């Protein structure tokens, strides 16, 4: 297979996000000579951190709060491979406080030890942010959703909201219960989400395995958790990482070797890499410029982007008494205490909150001053202590293309790992993983590419096994010792 006669085959991975990193590390583990090409000066893609001086302390701020669930087995196994699983927190058992603006009302979504779906029955009965009829219609719909064949073609033809309405779920239950989950996991409300992906999230996360829904989150900045840790692993494996290098359209030479033109973003020096295979792990809207047109059946650029913003607020004192909380009927959808994880000292009294706002089309272009005028009063409505606490710092991070919009019809543009050309593979959270655009989907796509590389060689990959991922996660990341107090 190797044109240069060397023992191990070579692969160029274009894109150093989670998908590219998962593919690169698995391929290197399998003995491939790996080169990672990444435009930016760092690895980690959409998950990264930047420095900011907060009250005299050099804090590390994430571009956006990220969470995962216990059912994200591939992502969690990837954290183990990076050696950073203990730098995350994973709840013993789901415990999500949900706040109602203005009333001071708070409910907790918790799970019991019963088999699914009964583990959530008590939580639903106690979810007093909607009325008894809303809860009853929701329970009936969840029972039906559990048995829905999400692979049937028609499930990508209608929205989740249409399906819920056809099951007589009330608008209040859709807005105050279902949207809580779809906005957080799919980056869009039920009316914009395809039934297929919503069914996947509810079936895998809430309705099958009782432990699947426990929530995890990073205890250190994302840049260290992913990009820096992956760089260390790649260095140890002898992989080459070309940062600040942009790849251009790849081509297959007559000797059946892949050529990857790259340009150094600093010196503008151009050269061509050569490899037996290429994994293209870039965002969906960059794929067409990199692959030969005959390689793919449709352009994934037809997937539309969906933005996320994070509103970062540092208060002079503690205003949120739980690690995180969700809110209904509020633009401040999820609130996270990031004080310690950003490197600030919680004993000094300051509290740094990251407010995650998904499906943020309305907010993405709004000036900081306007966001401040909108979000600070909102925080005071959610957290009474915030009404009287001085704001030490306020800033906003924006990701216009955080995910693709998982709308009905989007499945047609999520491409498979293999292209029509031999040795040219695709990865990325947007590819046809069956998952929404998440860290889990990104890692799965990278591993799918690594498996396809193994098949090119006629050897199954030793490095990744999704069934094994579950077992390898028996030694779970740090369990949250303190239950969430609400």
For the purposes of burial, counting CB atoms within 10 Å of the CB of 56, is it exposed (0-12), middle (13-18) or buried (19 or more)?
A: exposed
Instruction: List Cα–Cα distances, 69 to 78, 149, 202, 285, in angstroms.
Output: 14, 22, 12, 27
For the CB of residue 358, give the shortest distance to ligand FAD in the complex, in Å. 7
Least Cα distance to 230 among 385, 15, 394, 414 occurs for: 15
Contacts of 358 (CB under 8 A, 6+ apart): 183, 184, 187, 188, 306, 308, 333, 334, 402
Site for ligand FAD (CB under 6 A): which residue of 29, 399, 432, 465? 399
For the CB of residue 113, give the shortest distance to ligand FAD in the complex, in Å. 26
Indicate the helix (H) or strand (E) that contains 380: helix 368-382
User: Which stretch, 45-53, 93-101, 131-139, 269-277, contacts ligand FAD (CB under 6 A)?
Assistant: 45-53
For the CB of residue 287, give the shortest distance to ligand FAD in the complex, in Å. 9
Q: Are strands 33-37 and 10-14 parallel, antiparallel or unpaired?
A: parallel
Contact 413, 303 (CB under 8 A): yes
- Structure token pair of residue 351: 């509290």
| 47 lies in the site for ligand FAD, by CB under 6 A | yes
Q: CB-wise, 9 or 283, nearer to ligand FAD?
A: 283
Q: CB-wise, 173 or 206, nearer to ligand FAD?
A: 206
**Does a cis peptide bond (omega within 30 degrees of 0) precede residue 117?**
yes
For the CB of residue 459, give the shortest distance to ligand FAD in the complex, in Å. 25
Contact 231, 45 (CB under 8 A): no
| 16 lies in the site for ligand FAD, by CB under 6 A | yes
Site for ligand FAD (CB under 6 A): which residue of 13, 23, 27, 46? 46
Q: CB-wise, 40 or 470, nearer to ligand FAD?
A: 40
For the CB of residue 147, give the shortest distance to ligand FAD in the complex, in Å. 26
Site for ligand FAD (CB under 6 A): which residue of 15, 97, 227, 408? 15
Instruction: List Cα–Cα distances, 272 to 28, 251, 258, 260, in angstroms.
Output: 21, 10, 10, 5
* SS3 label, residue 277: strand
User: Which stretch, 60-68, 111-119, 199-207, 470-478, contacts ligand FAD (CB under 6 A)?
Assistant: 60-68
Site for ligand FAD (CB under 6 A): which residue of 94, 177, 308, 328? 308
| 437 lies in the site for ligand FAD, by CB under 6 A | yes
- Structure token pair of residue 283: 């965002």
| 66 lies in the site for ligand FAD, by CB under 6 A | yes
- Structure token pair of residue 295: 């390689």
User: How many chain residues touch ligand FAD (CB under 6 A)?
Assistant: 37
For the CB of residue 301, give the shortest distance to ligand FAD in the complex, in Å. 13
Q: CB-wise, 283 or 300, nearer to ligand FAD?
A: 283
- Structure token pair of residue 90: 């994973």
| 45 lies in the site for ligand FAD, by CB under 6 A | yes
Strand segments (E) across 324-380: 324-327, 334-337, 351-357
| 429 lies in the site for ligand FAD, by CB under 6 A | yes
User: Which stretch, 1-9, 66-74, 125-133, 376-384, contacts ligand FAD (CB under 6 A)?
Assistant: 66-74
Site for ligand FAD (CB under 6 A): which residue of 8, 40, 106, 264? 40
| 282 lies in the site for ligand FAD, by CB under 6 A | yes
User: Which stretch, 130-138, 201-209, 372-380, 399-407, contacts ligand FAD (CB under 6 A)?
Assistant: 399-407
Contacts of 438 (CB under 8 A, 6+ apart): 68, 72, 75, 185, 403, 429
Least Cα distance to 12 among 3, 20, 1, 22 occurs for: 20
Site for ligand FAD (CB under 6 A): which residue of 203, 403, 410, 419? 403
* SS3 label, residue 315: strand
Map the footprint of ligand FAD across residues 74-133, applying CB under 6 A.
none
Which alpha helices (H) appear in 227-359, and where do they start and end?
229-236
Q: CB-wise, 174 or 215, nearer to ligand FAD?
A: 215
Contact 450, 434 (CB under 8 A): no
Indicate the helix (H) or strand (E) that contains 275: strand 270-275
Site for ligand FAD (CB under 6 A): which residue of 11, 12, 13, 14? 14
User: Which stretch, 9-17, 228-236, 251-259, 459-467, contacts ligand FAD (CB under 6 A)?
Assistant: 9-17
Phi then psi for residue 171, to 5 deg, are -55, -35
User: Which stretch, 145-153, 278-286, 321-329, 404-412, contacts ligand FAD (CB under 6 A)?
Assistant: 278-286
Site for ligand FAD (CB under 6 A): which residue of 30, 38, 95, 134? 38
Name the site residues for ligand FAD (rule: CB under 6 A).
14-20, 37-40, 45-47, 63-64, 66-68, 246-247, 281-283, 286, 290, 308, 399, 402-403, 428-429, 437-440, 442
């Amino acid at each position: 297979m190797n044109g240069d006669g060397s023992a191990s085959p070579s692969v160029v991975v274009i894109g150093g996000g989670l998908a590219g990193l998962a593919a690169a590390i698995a391929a290197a583990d399998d003995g491939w000579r790996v080169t990672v090409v990444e435009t930016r000066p760092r690895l980690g893609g959409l998950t990264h951190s930047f420095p900011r001086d907060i009250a005299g302390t050099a804090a590390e701020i994430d571009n956006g709060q990220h969470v995962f669930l216990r059912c994200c087995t591939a992502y969690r196994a990837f954290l183990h491979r990076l050696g950073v699983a203990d730098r995350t927190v994973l709840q013993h058992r789901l415990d999500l406080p949900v706040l109602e603006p203005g009333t001071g009302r708070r409910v907790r979504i918790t799970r019991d030890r019963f088999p699914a779906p009964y583990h959530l029955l008590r939580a639903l009965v106690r979810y007093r942010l909607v009325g008894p009829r809303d809860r009853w219609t929701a329970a009936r719909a969840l029972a039906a959703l559990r048995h829905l064949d999400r692979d049937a073609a028609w499930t990508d033809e209608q929205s989740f909201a249409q399906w819920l309405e056809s099951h007589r779920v009330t608008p209040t239950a859709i807005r105050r219960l279902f949207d809580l989950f779809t906005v957080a996991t799919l980056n869009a409300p039920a009316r914009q989400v395809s039934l297929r992906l919503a069914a996947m999230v509810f079936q895998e996360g809430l309705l099958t395995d009782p432990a699947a829904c426990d929530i995890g989150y990073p205890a250190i900045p994302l840049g260290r958790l992913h990009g820096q840790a992956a760089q260390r692993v790649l260095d140890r494996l002898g992989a080459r990482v070309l940062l600040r290098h942009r790849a251009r359209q790849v081509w297959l030479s007559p000797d059946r070797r892949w050529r990857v033109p790259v340009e150094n973003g600093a010196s503008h020096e151009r050269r061509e890499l050569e490899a037996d295979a290429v994994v293209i792990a870039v965002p969906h809207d960059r794929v067409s410029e990199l692959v030969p047109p005959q390689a793919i059946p449709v352009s994934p650029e037809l997937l539309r982007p969906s933005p996320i913003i994070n509103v970062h607020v540092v208060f002079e004192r503690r205003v949120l008494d739980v690690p995180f909380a969700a809110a209904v009927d509020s633009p401040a959808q999820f609130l996270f205490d990031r004080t310690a994880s950003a490197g600030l000292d919680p004993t000094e009294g300051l509290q740094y909150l990251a407010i995650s706002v998904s499906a943020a089309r309305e907010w993405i272009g709004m000036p900081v001053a306007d966001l401040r005028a909108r979000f600070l009063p909102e925080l005071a409505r959610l957290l009474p202590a915030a009404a009287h606490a001085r704001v030490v710092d306020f800033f906003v991070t924006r990701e216009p293309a955080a995910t693709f919009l998982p709308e009905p019809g989007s499945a047609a543009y999520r491409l498979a790992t293999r292209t029509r050309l031999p040795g040219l593979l695709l990865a990325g959270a947007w590819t046809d993983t069956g998952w929404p655009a998440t860290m889990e989907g990104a890692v799965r796509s990278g591993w799918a590419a690594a498996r396809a590389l193994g098949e090119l060689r006629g050897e199954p990959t030793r490095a990744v096994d999704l069934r094994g991922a579950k077992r390898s996660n028996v030694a779970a990341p740090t369990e949250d010792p303190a239950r969430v107090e609400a």
